[in-house]
Structure formats: structure tokens, C-alpha cells
Amino acid sequence: MTDTPTSKRFAPIGPLTGTIRVPGDKSISHRALMFGALAVGETKVTGLLEGHDVLATAEALRIMGATIERFDDGSWSIHGVGVGGLLQPAQALDMGNSGTSTRLLMGLIASHAITANFTGDASLSGRPMGRVIDPLSQMGARFEPSPGGTLPLMMKGSFPTVPISYRLPVASAQVKSAILLAGLNTPGITTVIEPVPTRDHTERMLKGFGADLTVEEVDGERVIRIRGDAELTPQTITVPGDPSSAAFFIVAALLVEGSDLTIENVGLNPTRAGLITVLQQMGGDIELLNEREVGGEPVADLRVQHSQLRGIDVDPAIAPSMIDEFPVLFVAAANAQGTTTTSGLHELRVKESDRLSAMAAALTSVGARLKELEDGLVIAGSGGEPLRGTGNELITTHLDHRIAMSMAVAGLASKDGVEVDDTRPIATSFPDFEQLLEGAARG
């Protein structure tokens, strides 16, 4: 990321029509690289998301011994080192802005007798790592984080690590995944108990790579067990489109009059598809076409048409399946008829930014009426009237890509546009976002 912020005004550009494809799923892209790096032999991947976050994962794995190549046709090849075969990194692992890279790689390294230094940008360095440090410390890894449990952080893995049974105190796919990845190279059975289900890409993909992993429901909780000393078998993976990236185009097409947009090849894992359910409850016209399964993941094409949305009370139980999509849902709610109430969103306060306060401030500055609560927002919709836009103000994005893209969508449905203070963070997850928006507007 360059040192100079790049502001941009996103103004109404007309209906979004035609057919687009969004980049590959970020969660699956991270895991395809990591699991390929632990398999013996060649894993082939197509559709990999090539944003900064995923590339940070690839570079860290290269530093620890995996051979990872990109070919001119956009496909990737990973020659792994085997479970337990990661090498001592000769330099710090620069995670950029990627919390997923950091927490999952901490899990991978925990069961290796190596030492690693993790660094990141200003945004990532403010994010807490304690929730991962705690269970991995119980398994035998040691940590020297910065004050507050943040990056820069040094960790010393342990071999052999000790299998644990860990009940997640907060719904977090990253914490669950870190423990399971540490369990891959830990003798015995490592168990994670999930009171609230979170995205399950790790479980699906580890099974696909041949890990001995079971999932069962006991007294309403998910119990996930992985047997250590695993051997992973290389795979050929097609990464589906990222539902979190598709979310911005879904909401934009719902809000902009005259829109009729088809988004192809979107991953619809049930632990990720909460936004579509909520928008349909609000009256959004979203049709699932050509539903199919690719590599164990459900996929469909989405046809989205302009709709007058209605405010609802969003069930907090659905929050884990759409936690990253709440910023853009807030934009939809600000343009709906009636009031939308959200709750149970404490997790949003420890993302790349405090997304509750950031979105409350951003939407208020463009004319939305809302109330910020400790764990959510209550938003009084405009009744379909366009929000006024920013005038001469700039929206503060706090180096958070989802704030930037959500407010870009708000700009498309505003009277005179919305100007965000910095578009650079968008490249961390969605490098082609602006070009795709412009292309959809041209149909």
C-alpha cells in the first residue's frame, strides 16, 4: 500500500445490468494455499483471489518452505512440505492487513518447533490476538505479543503439542481454524466445541484433503474433532466467487432503480449466506439460478433486481453467517422503508476498524437517521428516498476495505455522491471492485 491516501467520489452511475463475476472466495483461497502447503505433492488451484491478504499468506508459506507458483493463465501450483514440515522462517512474516492470515498461520506454526515473528500494517497491529493466543498456549506454543496482545508478535511453536478440548468463548471461525490446524500435527485428538456455528470452510476442506476430522451436534453445539499426525493429499481446487465480495453488488442492484444484475458462480455455504436470507426477508428480489456443488461447496448464480426494501428486526442468531456483510446491510437498511434493528454484533467492534461506530458515523454524515447501541445499530430507513451524500465532506474509512466499499455502494444510491477518504484498502480484498462497478453500469 502506498503512503498517500487516495480519495474518491462514488456517484450515481445508472442501473446495474448484465452479468458479472466477483473474485474468488477469500476464506477458501487462504485455506487452499495453507492446506496445499501441508500436503505432499502438487495442489492445483484456479479462481484464487489475488488480493493483498491472500498474497501475504502465499509469501509466508514460501518463506517456510512451500513452493508456490502462479501461471500466466491465472492458475496456481503449490508443492507442499507435508504436515509438520514447515521450516524456520528466515525473516519476519508480514501479514499486511490480513487477520485471517495471521491467526491461521499462528495455528499452523504452533505445532512446529520453529520461531516466527508476525508483523502487519497499522490497522492489523491494533487487532487483538489474545483469543488465538489462549488456546494455542494451552497446546504448548509460547507468545511474546506487543502490549494489548497485538502485533508485532513473536511466537515459538512446540513439538509435540498437547491435544486440547476447547469451547469457543466467542463465535470465531478464525480461532476454531487455528486450533484445528495446530491439531493436524498434534498427537491424539484435538476437539473444538462451537456453541454458535461459524463458517465451516476449514472442516470441509480438511476433509477434502484427507484429514481425519469429524463433526457432530451434541446438545445443540457443534463438536469438531481432528486426529493428529495427519497426512494430507494434494487436491485440485476451483475457488467459488466470494459471497462477501458479491454482497456489495447485491445491495447496489437492490438499491439502484432499474437494476437487473446476474452475479455468476457465488459460493453459498450456509455458514456464509446469511445476508441473502436477510435481504430476502426485507423484500429483496434475489433469485438463485443453476444451483450446484463445486469441491464440496454449494454454488449458484444470483439474479438481483431493484426492490423496495422493508426494515426488519435482524435475528442475532444469523450474525455469524454474515458478520462481514453488516456494513453493507446497514447501507441497505438506511434506504429501506421503516426501521431495521440489529443486535448481537459485539464482534464488529474488533474488526479492521470498529465497524459499528465507523458505519454509524459514515451513514449519519450522508443523512441517515440511526442510533448506535453497544451491540448493534437501529436504522430508520429513508423510505426509498436517496440519501443526500457527503457534499464537501470525506467519509473516514479507518483503513477498512468494507467501510470503503459499503460507502461506495451508498454513493451509487445517493443524490450527489459519497466521497471516501481512502480507496487503497479495497485492494486488500477486491482489487477490481471499481472496474466491475463501472462495467455493471454499462451493462
* Residues 417-433 pLDDT 10s: 999 999 999 877 788 99
Same domain for 168 and 153? yes
Q: Give catalytic status of residue 324 as yes or no.
A: yes
260 and 361 both lie in a single domain: yes
Answer yes or no: is pLDDT of 182 > 90. Answer: yes
Q: Give the integer Cα–Cα distance in Å for 152 and 274.
A: 34
Q: b/e map of 62-94 (b: 16 or more CB within 10 Å)?
A: bbbbbebeeeeeeebebbbbbbbebeebeeebb
- CA nearest 199: which of 270, 132, 105? 270
Residue 115 within a domain: yes
Averaged pLDDT for residues 333-344: 98
- Whether residues 382 and 394 share a domain: the answer is yes
Q: Does residue 264 surpass a pLDDT of 90? A: yes
Residue 373 CA to residue 345 CA, distance in Å, equals 10
Q: Which domain holds residue 423?
A: 8-24+240-442
Binding-site positions for 3-phosphoshikimate:
26-27, 31, 172, 174, 324, 351
- Read off the pLDDT band of 392 (50, 70, 90): confident
- Between residues 442 and 383, the one the model is more confident about: 383
Q: Are residues 160 and 135 in the same domain?
A: yes
Whether residues 209 and 249 fall in one domain = no
Q: Which of 180, 142, 177, 144 shows the shortest CA–CA distance to 164?
A: 180
Give residue 442's pLDDT. Answer: 87
Q: Which three cell numbers stand for residue 323?
A: 458478520
Reported as a single tens digit per residue, the pLDDT across 197-255 is 889 999 999 999 999 999 999 999 999 999 999 999 999 999 999 999 999 999 999 99
At residue 96, φ and ψ (nearest 5 deg) are 60, -115
Are residues 349 and 422 located together in one domain of the fold? yes
pLDDT at 297: 86
**DSSP H stretches of helix in 161-310:** 173-184, 201-208, 243-255, 274-281
Is the confidence at residue 280, as pLDDT, over 80?
Answer: yes
pLDDT, residue 2, reads 64
**pLDDT reading at 3 higher than 90:** no
DSSP state at residue 16: -
Query: Are residues 284 and 380 both part of a single domain?
Result: yes
**Beta-carbon contacts of residue 380 (< 8 Å; ≥ 6 apart):** 311, 338, 339, 368, 369, 370
Q: Which pLDDT belongs to residue 13?
A: 93
Q: Which domain-ending residue is among 238, 259, 275?
A: 238
Query: Region 266-276: what's the mean pLDDT?
Result: 95
Which residues have a Cβ under 8 Å from the Cβ of 150 and sit 6 or more positions away?
125, 126, 127, 128, 129
277 and 318 Cβ atoms separated by less than 8 Å = yes
Residue 227 domain-assigned?
Answer: yes
Picking from 177, 206, 238, the residue at the C-terminal end of a domain is: 238
Which of 242, 228, 192 shows the shortest CA–CA distance to 38?
Answer: 228
| Residue 226 located in a structural domain | yes
What is the distance of C-alpha 243 from the center of its chain?
9
Q: How confident is the model at residue 351 (pLDDT cuts 50, 70, 90)?
A: confident
Using DSSP's 3-state secondary structure scheme, residue 155 falls into strand
Q: Which residue out of 200, 324, 400, 422 is catalytically annotated?
A: 324
C-beta separation of 335 from 305 below 8 A: no
- Whether 348 maps to a domain, the answer reads yes
Do 274 and 340 reside in the same domain of the chain?
yes
Q: How confident is the model at residue 1 (pLDDT cuts 50, 70, 90)?
A: low
pLDDT at position 320, please?
87
Task: State the pLDDT at residue 373.
Answer: 97
Within a domain: residue 3? no
Is residue 35 assigned to a domain? yes
The DSSP annotation for 281-334 comes to HTT-EEEEEEEEEETTEEEEEEEEE----B--B--GGGGGGGGGGHHHHHHHHH
My answer on whether 148 and 250 are in the same domain is: no
* pLDDT higher than threshold 80 for residue 165: yes
Work out how many domains the chain is built from and give that number. 2
pLDDT number for residue 116: 98
201 and 56 belong to one structural domain = yes
> Mind listing the pLDDT tens digit for each residue in 22-55?
999 999 999 999 999 999 999 999 999 998 899 9
376 and 269 in a common domain = yes
Average pLDDT score, the chain: 95
Residues tagged in the binding site annotation: 26-27, 31, 99, 127, 172, 174, 324, 351, 355, 402
Question: Residue 241: which residues within 8 A CB-CB, separation 6 or more?
Answer: 21, 22, 23, 24, 25, 47, 263, 264, 265, 266, 267, 299
- Give yes or no: residues 212 and 351 share one domain: no
Give the percent of the chain with pLDDT over 90: 90
Question: Quick check: is 334 in a domain?
Answer: yes
C-alpha distances out from residue 139 to 85, 177, 191, 248, Å = 18, 14, 12, 39
CA 428 – CA 414 distance, rounded (Å): 26
Given a cut of 70, whether residue 393 has pLDDT beyond it is yes
- Indicate which CATH number applies to the domain containing 202: 3.65.10.10
**Domain assignment present for 265:** yes
| Mean pLDDT value across residues 123-138 | 95
Q: Of 204, 238, 272, which residue is a domain's last? A: 238
